[in-house]
Each structure stands twice: as structure tokens, then as C-alpha cells.
Amino acid sequence: MNRAQLIQIIRDKRSYLCVGLDTDPLLLPTSLKDKPDGVLLFNKAIIDATRSTCVAYKINTAFYESMGAQGWLIMEETVRYIGEEHFIIADAKRGDIGNTSRQYAAAFFSQLAFDSITVSPYMGEDSVKPFLSFPDKWAIVLGLTSNRGAADFELLDCEGTPLYEHVLRKVSSWGSPSNLMFVLGATQADSFIRIRSICPDHFFLVPGIGAQGGSLREISEKAMNKDVGLLVNASRAILYASSGEDFAAAAAKVAGNYQAEMATYL
């Protein structure tokens, strides 16, 4: 999916909601826990419940890789079920020497048909560039994350500037706003105005609302640009809005509430 298509979907739906499919087999409703295809059935129900209110889905690959070969098949089928009308993110946080990154890119873009993949920039330009060589595909590079450990490296003072700012500036030169996004944690909203001045045109993938406590209003007011420039992710708040058999209806309600709020900021 290219940038113009993504922007159009956001405008048409009046939404920049991304639903995280971080499906934990241990948290499935009782009726699905003992079924061999329980995770896939759960994903399909969540997708059906949220298609109309979200513009993107983010699949955290760890939840599928932990299931072995069957997990990869479930992930592949989930991507296929989502289809081409939504932006699909592989939250895989890859990044290695160039020839290895090329294989990662081929796996997620050619074999699994994701639109984008999260990437760690720690190993530098040659580890990121292979993800930028596929037409209409995106690398979503870790910028400023919302976990406690962000202080260990991302916030380190580096010649008077936090290290993550150096990362944003440097990585921005490797691609363009048409194939590069940045991950920015919702709980770091105080930094968003500064970050937007550094990357005025790039999209930001923002996890951390809902269960992690980030403010949708604050994110929208501080980080939106002329093209919206945001994909705000909610995972647990939607997936596990109910632990009962009404999980899909509950997910639809929460996603609808997010979309309704987003519409007021557009």
C-alpha cells in the first residue's frame, strides 16, 4: 500500500486506528481454547468486528512464532483474511547485516504479503536499507519507545541531544516519508512536538494507548500533520475487551469508540 492510498483510507474512514493482533492462546474465550484453530477463529472474529473502524492491523509475530510452524500458518492465513483494504504491519523488530535483512524483507513482503515491518536501527544503514527496496512497502523504524528500558539507550544524552533524536534524523535520510515510518510510544507524548519538528512529513506508529495509558487526545494534538501522519495502535484494550463469548461485540464497541474520538480530531 502506498502513501496516497493510506492517506485516502484514513480520510474515508475518519480513523487512524490500528488494531494489534497480539493474540495469546491462553487468553482465548473458553469456546475457542481447546480448538486447534482457535487463534485463527479468534483473529477472524476480531477482524470482522473492527474492519469498518480501523485502517490497519499490526501482527506481533512473537505470538505466532512461539507456536512453531503452525503459528506461521496462522499468521499467513490472518494476513490473507485481512485482505488489501487495510495496512498490515509485521511487528517483528528485525534488523541485521544487509544480506540477512534482505531475507527478512523477502519473507515478510514477498511470502507473507505484509505492507510494512518494524525494524531496529541499531546496526545502521545497511541493516535497514534492504527493507526500503520493495515498492509500496514500508520500514517502521524504532524511534522512541514506551517501555521502561527506553531510558537505557534511547534517552541517553549524546552531545546535548537525546540519542533517539540522532536516530530519527539519520534514518530519515535513508528513505522518504513514502517508505519510512517511526515507532513512537504513546506514553512519550511530551516529546511529540519536538519529534514532529524533526520529522514533519513521516507517519508515526504509536502504540501505548488503552492498556498502557497513553492519551489519544494528547497524541493527536501534538503529533498530527497535514496528512494525519498517525497510526495509533490498540491491542489488549480491543482484543480482550471481554473475556467471554461476547468478545467480538466488545471489541467492536471499543474500536468504534476510538474511531469516533479520532473523527473529532480530523
Q: Look up residue 122 and give its DSSP letter.
A: T
Buried residues in 35-63 as b, exposed as e (16+ CB within 10 A): eeebbbbbbbbbbebbbebbbbbbbbbeb
Cell matching residue 132: 526500503
Residue 211: per-residue pLDDT = 59
CA–CA separation, 64 and 256 (whole Å): 27
CA–CA separation, 116 and 124 (whole Å): 19
CA dihedral angle for residue 25, residue 27, residue 33, residue 36, rounded to 10 degrees:
-20
Residue 148: per-residue pLDDT = 85
CA–CA separation, 153 and 186 (whole Å): 18
User: 13, 33, 93, 222: which is the annotated catalytic residue?
Assistant: 93
Cell matching residue 123: 546496526
Nearest Cα to 74, choosing from 54, 92, 60, 94?
A: 60
Split into its structural domains, the chain has a count of 1
CA–CA separation, 234 and 210 (whole Å): 6
**Burial degree of 148 (CB within 10 A; 0-12, 13-18, 19+):** exposed
CATH number for the domain spanning 121: value is 3.20.20.70
Model confidence pTM above 0.85: yes
- Is 93 catalytic? The answer is yes
Average pLDDT by consecutive 10-residue portion of the chain (266 residues)?
A: 98 98 95 93 98 98 96 97 97 95 96 96 96 97 89 88 94 97 86 93 89 80 95 95 95 98 96
**What is the extent of the structural domain holding 234?**
3-265
Residue 208: per-residue pLDDT = 79
CA–CA separation, 170 and 36 (whole Å): 45
